[in-house]
Amino acid sequence: MRISMVKPIPLLIFSFFVTHICGQRVYEHYDQLTDSLRIGNNKTDIIPYSEKGFTLIMPDKSEPLQGILISLEDGKYTLKDKTEKQLIHPAANQKGFAVLYVSTGVPLDLYFNNASLLQVDYLLKKVFADYALPNKNIFFFGSMVSGHRVLKYIEYCKKGNSLFNPDIKGVVVSESAIDWVRMWYEAQKQVRDHISEVQLFEGNLITYLFQANFHQTPETAIEKYLEFSAYSYFDTKMRNIKYFKDLAVRAYTFAPINYWFSASGKGVNDSNYPDMSGFINELKIAGDKKAELVVFTNETRAKADKMETQSNTWNLIDKKELMDWIASQTGK
């Protein structure tokens, strides 16, 4: 990503503590970073860096851990800001799994280069060593942009670049944009239509970030976008599927036909549904018998919460059922 010329410097302000809440042990350690990310051409188009570090939530038990769930964030994961539907650690801890959130502190971190991947790899290796976590039965999970990040890190490991070398058993992604050719075209439509300020902002943001990092569009250099995408409908080689075909994979998506596909100027390709369904379909074609797609519909939303939208599909997931599935993939 394009950033200012000042390098991020960890301040001497940090948090490090352990608490016991609701049967869990919570460990945190974050360093506040300075610097900012440029997201547009205007002088005010900048976002400050946040905190780099981790939050580790472990069962308050003496039994050996059964596995670790890992999410890759761009800022500090704060438990008190989350609703019950957002939290996976209660169900995970009941199954004997720890949950680890790792943050680079870089806002909107899409891992355009190896800098963030190196940081993540180092932090994971250090946390596992410091807390004597077993390097086995590791599952990555991520909602929205975090889903893209975990897939990029898994790809990084599968290419032999990791010094940590986690024993990855599976990955769970929820409503994640992972086809960046499709996403780029969606962004152009958002800018052209200018139906809402939110859509216009997202369209301009995606356009700027990819122009700043790739300096070309999919129309002139599609290979860059295909290499960057964990999956793309436009990739006839399906070059990156091989990194995930031996893993247990679940993808969640919300397909509310009456809203997203008929209102706000959106069609099917202006949602993350094609990415999630296409990813799982290609994994199955590649021989992955542990790949599953879970689709929520308008009826699901009506039963859960009429205000749910595609942006919070994660809230619709039955975390206990998900943990049952994860545990079943460990062979125990």
Q: What is the 3-state secondary structure (H, E, C) of 32-95?
A: ECCCEEECCCCCCCEEECCEEEEEEEEECCCCCCCEEEEEEECCCCCHHHCCHHHCCHHHHHHC
218, 235 Cβ separation under 8 angstroms: no
Phi, psi of 92 (to 5 degrees): -65, -45
Tens of pLDDT, residue by residue over 237-280, are 999 999 999 999 999 998 876 665 666 778 888 999 999 999 99
Confidence of residue 3 (pLDDT cuts 50, 70, 90): very low
Residues 223-245: pLDDT tens digits?
999 999 999 999 999 999 999 99
What is the pLDDT, as a whole number, of residue 209?
97
Handedness of CA 272, 278, 281, 287 (dihedral sign): negative
Full-prediction pTM beyond 0.95? no
* Alpha-carbon gap, residue 50 to 72, rounded angstroms: 14
Q: If you ran DSSP here, which 8-state letter would residue 220 be given? A: T
Burial environment of residue 270 by CB neighbours within 10 A (0 to 12, 13 to 18, 19 or more): buried
Mean of pLDDT values over 15-23: 48
Residue 249 CA to residue 171 CA, distance in Å, equals: 5
On the question of pLDDT at 21 being above 80, the answer is no
List residues bridging with 141 in a β-sheet: 172
Q: Pairing mode, if any, of strands 67-73 and 24-32?
A: unpaired
pLDDT of the residue at 301: 54
Place of tokens 């410091």: 130
Band (82; pLDDT cuts 50, 70, 90): confident
Tell me the one-letter amino acid at 310.
Q
Q: Give me 65's structure tokens.
A: 């851990």
Mean pLDDT of the chain: 89
Tokens read off for 40: 């547009």
Provide the token pair at 3.
């950033």
Domains (ranges, CATH) in the chain?
14-328 (3.40.50.1820)
CA distance readout (Å), 315 to 32, 253, 259, 324: 29, 11, 18, 17
Q: Which two tokens stand for residue 107?
A: 């806002």
In this prediction, residue 13 carries a pLDDT of 32
Tokens for 150, please give them: 């975990």
Q: What confidence score (pLDDT) does residue 265 get?
A: 78
